[in-house]
Amino acid sequence: MQEIGIIMNGVTGRMGTNQHLIRSILALRDDGGVELPNGERVLPNPVLVGRNERKLRALSEEYGVERWTVDPDLETCLDGDEEIYFDSQVTPRRPDALLKAIDAEKHVYCEKPLAGDLDTALEVTRKAKRSGVKYGIVQDKLWLPGIVLLDRLIEQEFFGDILSVRIEFGYWVFTGDVQSPQRPSWNYRAEDGGGIVDDMFSHWSYVLENLFGRVESVRCTEKTHIPERVDENGDVYEATADDAAYAIMELEGDIVAQLNSSWAVRVNRDDLLEITVDGTEGSAVAGLRDCKTQHHSNTPKAVWNPDTPKDHDFTDDWEPVPENQEFENAFKVQWEKFIRYVVADEPFPWDFAAGARGVQLTEASYQSSNEQRRIRLDELEV
């Protein structure tokens, strides 16, 4: 069995620890490595990198990862024999680290967003493309069970002509004064790369593009509904980043998408994320794990009459889509694909160009909100 060295920078954060280290790389090690097309297996061998020695040491001891280093400038770890550099740092630190890793001829894989602005995202994308290294960006939502089931319906042409998409995402994030918040304080500071548009619109970009078509225009309003929050040390701070965004997007194929994203909303739906698709032949609602449908032939005749009591439960008319397969952790699935891409040259379309389009949508959405107008998105040249 061969090993592949992976520099994991930023794994002391919530996402880096839980999804990328524990549920992906260590889970793959427990599985005996990633199986290649020829039947051989390759075992990921991580080295943990970060800025906090205490957290790195604790991760090393708890999970038995022997190799770790405090190396904020990456000078030492990039000199090693590791083949892959992975980055899940906060967004402002990511582009410089990626550029250094590309210079060191490492294959690069990173969390989204690729950068905090489009010019920088394109710079990183073009350098990676010229360098000859392999590169990819995390697009984990594509392997959530509910979205896999939704994609299956699209492939089977269940919807007929798709007319519209509605995405409802969010939940109430406690401010920290009475109950502890579920998200770190930097998420609410624009100067640290926070904001729900920065955090989520890169996701919406690839979800919409992979399932329905490229985003061609956006009309967005972003808000900071909660002006003050309490940080991890119990100190009150000003929330300078948006905690909610409301957008209408036009996609290829004359499809309209409506998206509400909020950390200041209380949930009254089946899941924290719901994607509703309406088509001429049928409709579907997908959550994180489930998907339900209503076909044209199964659609009740709704009649508007607010003067009489409601006598029909419309939710009963929907049918669940059977899973018919086992679902792995979405981050783990894409890690397997990236390792096969590096070692066995299998296709991996989720590249930095896709990441740059996510940054383009984020930037256009902020511009739309600031200028209160619809913004068209040109096709990027990379």
User: How much is the pLDDT for 60?
Assistant: 94
For residue 124, is pLDDT > 90? yes
- Say what the pTM is: 0.94
The predicted-structure confidence for 304-336, as pLDDT tens digits, reads as follows 888 888 888 889 999 999 999 999 999 999 999
User: How much is the pLDDT for 28?
Assistant: 97
The predicted-structure confidence for 348-371, as pLDDT tens digits, reads as follows 999 999 999 999 999 999 999 999
CA separation for the pair 342, 339 (Å, rounded) = 5
User: How much is the pLDDT for 14?
Assistant: 85
For residue 338, is pLDDT > 90? yes
The predicted-structure confidence for 133-167, as pLDDT tens digits, reads as follows 999 999 999 999 999 999 999 999 999 999 999 99
The predicted-structure confidence for 271-307, as pLDDT tens digits, reads as follows 999 999 999 999 999 999 999 999 999 999 888 888 8
For residue 13, is pLDDT > 90? no
CATH fold, domain 141-324+360-371, is Dihydrodipicolinate Reductase; domain 2 (3.30.360)
Query: Omega before 181 cis (within 30°)?
Result: no
User: How much is the pLDDT for 168?
Assistant: 98
User: How much is the pLDDT for 193?
Assistant: 85
Where along the chain do its domains lie? Answer: 2-140+330-350, 141-324+360-371
User: How much is the pLDDT for 245?
Assistant: 98
Q: Which CATH class is domain 2-140+330-350?
A: alpha beta
What is the rounded average pLDDT of the residues 338-342?
A: 98
196 pLDDT band, cuts 50/70/90, is very high
The residues that bridge with 170 in the sheet, in sequence order, are 262
User: How much is the pLDDT for 71?
Assistant: 86
Mean residue pLDDT of the chain comes to 96
